[in-house]
Structure 1
Amino acid sequence: MRKKMTKRIFIDIEKCYSCKECKAKCSYYYKHSRTFRDSEKEESQNKGFEKFFSKVLQYYICRKCEDAFCITACSNEALFKDQNGILHRSLFRCTSCKSCLVACPFGTIYKDVLEYKSSQCDFCLPRADDKNPPLCVITCPEGAIQYIEIEHDEKQDIYEINKNLVARVKKWILEPIGK
């Protein structure tokens, strides 16, 4: 029996040209649809899409070393890889010492690529369905963001970033390095 697939946000990095329409729509919705104290209202901005897009960008540029120098260099054990080889930063352990930036032999870790704050994006799950896809999907003029049933497929360069996010990114290398 075949496993039932669920819809997820799919980003095709090859189609995205960084117009930021998706970020603007998402920020607008969250800024104007929720109640904030007056002092927070001016400063409030949903960085949710920006944060999960940074995960896709990091996956795109990281060389995915088998024995990652950045992880070894971190004295606080703040960096780790998940089962898909995606690099993550522990928000509580990182002291922003930037040892990982220095240790990366390819210079692919930028100070803001690995997020320091947790994503506020809820993937529009409370309201997303077949008739109402997430706001970033509706807004994307190039179709780089879709809300579809899709699975991890390395042959097609499609990788699962997390349970709600899948992306098409080209791999830098065919074999892991760093041993």
Structure 2
Amino acid sequence: MKKLFIDLEICSKCEKCSAACGYFYHPQNNGISSLREYATFVTICRHCEDAPCVSSCYHNALERAEDGHIKRYKMRCTSCKSCSLACPFGIVMEDFIPYLDSKCDYCTGLSGKLPKCVVSCPQKAIEVKEIQEKPQENIYFIGEHLAVHTTRWAKDDPQPKRK
């Protein structure tokens, strides 16, 4: 099955895909931005054990899901940016926390044409293609329609092996 594939390592955040995103239901909706936010939280977030971003949110908009990932409830979020200030690794970026809830519909009404975000991406960081999930190559499936390439954080072994 073909998936929308976003390569977060190639993406320069030039926002050309965001400008081209033509989500039908709301003129200011930016579906590709919501996908990039979701992909960042799932694949790049360090998922700290104490999660200062979660405890800093006064509106309970962030929580740790059962799978261990940090999830943002956009209808609760007031875009106060307290989570951004609390993140010790700088992963929760202020521009990733818009107040308006955006959703991507994967351009379902285009009847075979490529989504506008794919066509407009100058770095070719967004594609629609057949792809296999390959964790060893940092390619992960997120849901039914999205695949992401990124570098996941790995914990260092605190105890070096003795010779």
| CA offsets 1:86-124 (integer angstroms, 9 cap, x no match) | 432212333445443343222322333244332242111
Structure 1 counterpart of 2:159 = none
| TM-score when normalising by structure 1 | 0.67
Q: Quick one: distance in 2 between partners of 1:85 and 1:149?
A: 28
Asked whether 1:22 is paired with 2:17, we answer: yes
Structure 2 counterpart of 1:105 = 88
Question: 1:157 offset after TM fit, Å?
Answer: 0.7
Q: Residues 152 and 99 of structure 1: is their aligned pair in 2 closer, same or farther, counting only changes over 3 Å?
A: same
Percent identity over the alignment?
Answer: 38
Structure 2 runs not aligned, ≥5 long: 157-163
Contact 1:58 1:113 in 2 (8 A): no
Aligned residue pairs: how many? 156
Contact 1:51 1:115 in 2 (8 A): no
Q: Quick one: distance in 2 between partners of 1:114 and 1:101?
A: 8
Structure 1 counterpart of 2:108 = 125
Q: Aligned with 1:107: secondary structure?
A: coil
Selected match of 1:158 from 105, 118, 139: 139
Q: 1:50-89, aligned counterparts within 5 Å?
A: 50-59=33-42, 61-82=44-65, 85-89=68-72
Structure 1 counterpart of 2:4 = 9
Contact 2:75 2:101 in 1 (8 A): no
Q: Quick one: distance in 1 between partners of 2:98 and 2:139?
A: 22
| TM-score when normalising by structure 2 | 0.72
